[in-house]
Amino acid sequence: MKISPPVLLLLILTLVVLLAKLALEAPTTAIERDRWRQAADNTLALKQALDHYYAEYAKPPDLGTQDMEIHTEGRVGITLLRILLGREDTGTEMQNPRQIAFLNSKVSKNKNRGGLVYTNRGSWPDPEGFYDSWGNSFRVFLRKPDASRLSFPYGGQTLSLDQPFAVFSCGPDKVPGTKDDLKSW
């Protein structure tokens, strides 16, 4: 069977276009896969840091707030990060008096790349926030001191878990309670 030159040219062009499309999509897919892996690693690192803190001190950090949902940025979030990093100001009010670094994660200069972001204040860097791969602060739910279970609103319902903490990332859509969230439970 003989293929005419115009048909052969069309087949070759189609093959070249398909190969070019695959070559352009592959790096994007690899980068996105790496973002998901990093966000999952950071979610787990934060949950494990809280678990290790709880195992060491037999209580959750006291952040001086009745709000049981904490973002890993802002005043309360930075307080939590300082505690978990063992970087609190020394004194009698320390939550982590042994100054154990419970949280170990990638340091980033830009919150949109994910990880721990520091700002320089004084003689050493101070945490500015801890972010997922899409620039969202992580959300931490803490069990209330007088409660036997952790209860919190998530995805239009109230979840009740038998654990002292829960951590999640809103994922790339930046909306809590959707299918792309990364959760510790």
Per-residue H/E/C for 125-158: EEEEEEECCCCCECEEEECCCCCCCEEEEECCEE
Mean pLDDT lowest among 20-29, 43-52, 56-65, 176-185: 20-29
pLDDT for 37 beyond 70 = yes
pLDDT band with cut points at 50, 70 and 90 for residue 12: confident
- The total domain count for the chain is 1
pLDDT band with cut points at 50, 70 and 90 for residue 25: low
Share of the chain above pLDDT 90, in %: 61
Tens digits of residue pLDDT in 91-133? 888 999 999 999 999 999 889 889 999 987 656 688 999 999 9
Tens digits of residue pLDDT in 44-76? 999 999 999 999 999 889 887 766 789 999 999
- Kindly give the pairing relationship between strand 157-161 and strand 150-154: antiparallel
Domain that holds residue 117: 5-183
Distance CA 25, CA 19 (A): 10
**0.95 cut: is pTM over it?**
no
